[in-house]
Structure 1
Amino acid sequence: ALTNIVWAPLSEGLDSVSLSANWMWPCKNPGEDARLYKAVEACSRFACELGINIPTGKDSLSMTQKYGDEKVYSPGTVIISAGAEVSDVKKVVSPVLVRDARTAVYYIDFSFDALSLGGSAFAQSLGKVGCQAPTVQDSEYFASAFNAIQQLISEGLILAGHDISAGGMITALLEMNFANTEGGLEVKLDKLPEKDLIKILFSENPGVLIQVKDRKAVEKILEEAGVGYAVVGHPCSERHILVSKDGAEYLFGIDHLRDVWFSSSYLLDRKQSGEAQAKARFLNYKEQPLHYHFGKSFTGKMEQYGISADRRKPSGIKAAIIREKGVNGDREMAYSLYLAGFDVKDVHMTDLISGRETLEDVNMIVYCGGFSNSDVLGSAKGWAGGFLWNEKAKKALDDFYARPDTLSLGICNGCQLMVELGLLTPDHEEKPRMLHNDSHKFESQFLGLTIPKNNSVMFGSLSGDKLGIWVAHGEGKFSFPYELDKYNVIAQYSYDAYPANPNGSPCAVAGIASADGRHLAMMPHLERAIFPWQWGYYPGNRKDDEISPWIEAFVNARKWVENIKK
């Protein structure tokens, strides 16, 4: 937990951290209570020595199952979660290796203990557990190493980092390269005193790997903190990891081992999605890299759009977020609208049904993502019924869409609602439908979206852009009763094939708009990607961007309302 959270800049370093302990143990069986006592004592002592607390947790102490006259014991386990206040989310270190031959990869041991393989993934892969597991011999040294990494992060000296945990150093080195499509590492381990290469590569002693460029500055901070280090590698152009130790060399193909690493997901996918979809995902996951194209006029600065995160005065341009029970994307959407210059109203379906809200004073309404009515009637079916079978709510909606000065946006569950109500294609006798994903499961991932040339109010200026975005849905496949040219497509996934097309929509359609471009519905969540730090991957050459291109869609909506109200 601690070597994972170390990559985020914490407001007060290690002192910021609080832990949560989830104990799962087959108590009241011979020897188990004593083992639990020792484990709790060790955990408590280590936390006290580090000066951090464990204020909460959960106990499951009846982990025993009886079958006839026999008992099955769950192995005693504690899961530790770490939490802390982050001082600057933009400085969080990514585990993705930067392709720069002038940089170096350092190994920093946190354990101050001899390398051992007990309990490691390597040992378990051989059907063994071992008898000697790695531990932390010096808590004070661990704290010094932790805070030294924190200082390096705060000063912007770490380009990439990965903790050594399940799988050991070799797994960490490989995972730092998996997200890239080119390049690899040359790793030289001669400076490590351990002679057993297996222990070096596969032991899971607490430690980290960091990629740095300013070696002098990094080494100065580590030495002042009394933290040991070793330079173990440099990026190379070849797509492999070349490991050398005392004259022996071992070559590991990154792409081949990435397939091995991914194969367990493939085996699970076969059970969830069937052979065809599982195989498609396995064959395509490396063949669908993210490609971005930002508009030439995009600067990444808020001042470009005349917006400020510190705005306190109302603008007079009102937008309403319409919620049903189970909707959960309203806070992110409200902030996106507010940042773009809207004054945002919170409207619940009960407000519309009772007549307390008529939408007469708003120019834009937004239906957010979530799971309205827990999807028990199907995605957005119950939400749609709230409009169709309640006179006052239906009148408020009909009156709103009859006005020429209105906009609307539906995201995810809101998209399903707009399609179900036929709000985007009112002139069509037969409306589109939203079907279950072809994978038969909920899809949550970060992927590429292409904005084709379109006339929509929100996306028109983004035509030609290729951007990253999040999806999170189980019923996101568009089904169109007419030819595609009868619909105003405003967003498409960047690839036709699964998994980059997460639901199997025809022509990779991700969103459509009304014919006049005023009303828009899409499955991906642009409100979850308005800041660079929200993206799963943001271009490394745009580190100074304050905002992502997605904010432009909301600003376009606000400007349209301003112009029409003049």
Structure 2
Amino acid sequence: ISAFAPVADIRRTLTPLLQTTLESVLILVDLGSGRDRLGGSALAQVFSQIGCEGPDLDSPEQLAGLFAATRQLIGESKLIAYHDRSDGGLFVTLCEMAFVSRCGLEIDLGSVCDVLPALFSEEVGVVLQVRADDQAAVLACLDSFGLGGCSRVIGRVEQDHNDIQIIAGGRVQYRAARVDLHRAWSEVSWKMQRLRDNPGCADFEYERILDITDPGLHAEVSFDLGENPAVKAILSGSRPRVAILREQGVNGQIEMAAAFDRAGFSAVDVTMSDLAAGRRDLIEFSGFAACGGFSFGDVLGAGQGWAKSILYQSRLRDMFELFLQHPERFALGVCNGCQMLAALKELIPGAEQWPSFEKNESEQYEARQVMVEVLASDSVLLAGMEGSYLPIAVAHGEGRATFESNVELKHLADNNQTGLRYVDNRDQSTLIYPYNPNGSTDGIAGLTAANGRVTIMMPHPERVFRTVCNSWHPVHWGEHSPWLRLFQNARAFAA
């Protein structure tokens, strides 16, 4: 059975990510009520068994009660983290929470005699993290929904070490380093990845599990998130028009339009056929954005078909050349749009040294959140953002910036044309996968033309300008992430 439902407020959802900086406890809600049936479990399969009796939902009313209780507790902000018990049982549930949170756990099963079924049965259940001060209130709430007999505290986050420790009957039954368990958990995927992808990239990603001091994704913002450089322009009441370009296979136009709209533009859907037929002219707009996607299915190379359709049609070539040379117009190319504009560099003043974008070093499409540094550059869109280290989404198969020689690379650096570069979790420029998701030379992720009016980048700022659209973000960010500043800068320029 499959089902779906709308989420009223995604800001009130929970993930398995544990908070490690506060006093908390872990509560198991066990709808199997201690039966711990192992039939069909991963543990049984490991030993080539099926088992006699599988997990079951003996009381559907309890499941309804669990749903109602968690909704109430979320509404009261009493839950911090949540993870369901499923494949692998309670032990795997807890390990997964520890892996993503990069912490140790101390688990106490109490007087349980049979530890293996308790850890590996796949009965319906959930693990909740709650503040220590809220423990009594949470247990009382669960009891009020008929779950008191199957809910109990089973442990806590361990901040002093990175081990996962299981206690039962007052004795330590099992203890292992989180890193060793994480590598075992990832080993099969790593071996498959080595066969399918670039094995060197697979090894880099697997080995980084060993780095127990890895700070992970983070954010260092060099500007005031509460300031808007376009406030005077917005107060004028005007909404300059920006063309959101669309070609066959482009799919990023909606979020791009939303970002420009939020910054004070009137975003206009403009298809390439509109331009080719003369129904629209780029010069009517203050700027244009070439969006991400897979124009023409990337058959001729990512962005190449789109670019050639412009270069080989005189009307379009002249239109783009006039626009890109106009001192009061701006352009943004993201992902497929970045690849397309790079292929149009002969039409863009000051873009002669731009690279081509080739297949990712991993040999696979990469969709993940990575860290980038905003460099000091002449880009009008990145103005005032230099010195920031920010998470951002990437989603591409051909994003590796490749130069004919180091001369072009040096020229871009010397002339403040490198706007973004990939960094590792310690803010160092890197070629190492997956911090650098495509193997770009010098970690290059974004560039600008010499005049600063045309900016291209492989990452997707338009997909993360709202805080809630980030897969991870600092808890203190408000409605908007720092990436809205890029679009606000565009609005200030268009004033």
Give yes or no for TM over 0.5.
yes
1:527 equivalenced with 2:471 (yes/no):
no
Q: CA deviation at 1:306?
A: 4.9
2:473 aligned residue: 538
1:290 equivalenced with 2:217 (yes/no):
yes
Q: CA deviation at 1:433?
A: 1.0
For residues 519 and 285 of structure 1, do their structure 2 counterparts lie closer, same or farther at Cα, with a shift above 3 Å needed?
farther
1:467 aligned residue: 390
For residues 223 and 558 of structure 1, do their structure 2 counterparts lie closer, same or farther at Cα, with a shift above 3 Å needed?
same
Q: Per-residue CA shift, 1:429-475, capped at 9, x if unaligned?
A: 66521110011111111111111122211112110111111111100
* Matched residue SS, 2:19: coil
Which letter maps to 1:494? V
Give the 5 Å matches for 1:62-461: 81-112=2-33, 114-181=35-102, 183-190=103-110, 194-213=112-131, 214-228=134-148, 229-237=151-159, 238-249=161-172, 250-284=174-208, 287=211, 289-299=216-226, 306=231, 315-422=238-345, 426-427=349-350, 432-461=355-384
2:113 and 2:347 mapped to 1: Cα distance?
Answer: 68
2:310 and 2:100 mapped to 1: Cα distance?
Answer: 45
Q: CA deviation at 1:209?
A: 0.3
Give the 5 Å matches for 1:480-559: 480-482=403-405, 483=407, 484-487=409-412, 488-495=417-424, 496=430, 497-540=432-475, 542=476, 545-559=478-492
For residues 480 and 342 of structure 1, do their structure 2 counterparts lie closer, same or farther at Cα, with a shift above 3 Å needed?
same
Q: Higher mean Cα deviation, 104-113 or 348-357? A: 104-113
Q: Per-residue CA shift, 1:115-171, capped at 9, x if unaligned?
A: 111111121122222221101001111111111111111221111111101111111
* Matched residue SS, 1:460: coil
User: Runs of 5+ in structure 2 lacking a partner?
Assistant: 425-429
User: Runs of 5+ in structure 1 lacking a partner?
Assistant: 1-20, 22-80
2:228 and 2:147 mapped to 1: Cα distance?
Answer: 43
Q: Higher mean Cα deviation, 115-124 or 273-282? A: 273-282
2:351 and 2:493 mapped to 1: Cα distance?
Answer: 26
For residues 510 and 200 of structure 1, do their structure 2 counterparts lie closer, same or farther at Cα, with a shift above 3 Å needed?
same
* Matched residue SS, 1:461: coil
* Matched residue SS, 1:320: strand
Q: How many residues align?
A: 473
Contact 1:387 1:394 in 2 (8 A): yes
Which letter maps to 1:292? A
For residues 359 and 202 of structure 1, do their structure 2 counterparts lie closer, same or farther at Cα, with a shift above 3 Å needed?
same
Which letter maps to 2:451? D
For residues 284 and 305 of structure 1, do their structure 2 counterparts lie closer, same or farther at Cα, with a shift above 3 Å needed?
farther
Contact 1:322 1:348 in 2 (8 A): yes
Contact 1:242 1:251 in 2 (8 A): yes
Q: Higher mean Cα deviation, 510-519 or 387-396? A: 387-396
Q: CA deviation at 1:360?
A: 2.0
Which letter maps to 2:129? Q
Q: Higher mean Cα deviation, 548-557 or 356-365? A: 356-365
For residues 295 and 170 of structure 1, do their structure 2 counterparts lie closer, same or farther at Cα, with a shift above 3 Å needed?
same
2:396 and 2:124 mapped to 1: Cα distance?
Answer: 37
1:61 aligned residue: none
2:263 and 2:353 mapped to 1: Cα distance?
Answer: 35
Q: Per-residue CA shift, 1:169-218, capped at 9, x if unaligned?
A: 1111111111234x311111116xx5211011111101100000112321
Q: CA deviation at 1:295?
A: 2.4
2:98 and 2:386 mapped to 1: Cα distance?
Answer: 33
Q: Per-residue CA shift, 1:39-77, capped at 9, x if unaligned?
A: xxxxxxxxxxxxxxxxxxxxxxxxxxxxxxxxxxxxxxx
Q: CA deviation at 1:317?
A: 1.1
Q: Per-residue CA shift, 1:308-336, capped at 9, x if unaligned?
A: xxx9x973311101110110000000000
2:229 and 2:147 mapped to 1: Cα distance?
Answer: 45
Q: CA deviation at 1:304?
A: 8.8
1:280 and 1:91 mapped to 2: Cα distance?
Answer: 35
Q: Higher mean Cα deviation, 260-269 or 423-432? A: 423-432
Q: Higher mean Cα deviation, 366-375 or 217-226? A: 217-226
Q: CA deviation at 1:253?
A: 1.1
* Matched residue SS, 1:241: strand
Q: Per-residue CA shift, 1:219-273, capped at 9, x if unaligned?
A: 2221211213100111122111111000221212111111111112211111122
Larger RCO (alpha carbons 8 Å, 6+ apart): 2
Which letter maps to 2:113? K
For residues 154 and 445 of structure 1, do their structure 2 counterparts lie closer, same or farther at Cα, with a shift above 3 Å needed?
same
Contact 2:218 2:473 in 1 (8 A): no
What is the percentage of aligned positions where both structures have the same residue?
34
C-alpha RMSD of matched pairs (Å) = 2.2
2:298 and 2:315 mapped to 1: Cα distance?
Answer: 23
1:332 and 1:431 mapped to 2: Cα distance?
Answer: 26
Which letter maps to 1:319? V
For residues 423 and 369 of structure 1, do their structure 2 counterparts lie closer, same or farther at Cα, with a shift above 3 Å needed?
farther
Contact 2:381 2:490 in 1 (8 A): yes
1:27 aligned residue: none
1:133 and 1:87 mapped to 2: Cα distance?
Answer: 35
1:111 and 1:531 mapped to 2: Cα distance?
Answer: 40
Which letter maps to 1:84? A
Q: CA deviation at 1:536?
A: 1.7
2:388 and 2:270 mapped to 1: Cα distance?
Answer: 33
For residues 212 and 336 of structure 1, do their structure 2 counterparts lie closer, same or farther at Cα, with a shift above 3 Å needed?
same
Q: CA deviation at 1:277?
A: 2.2
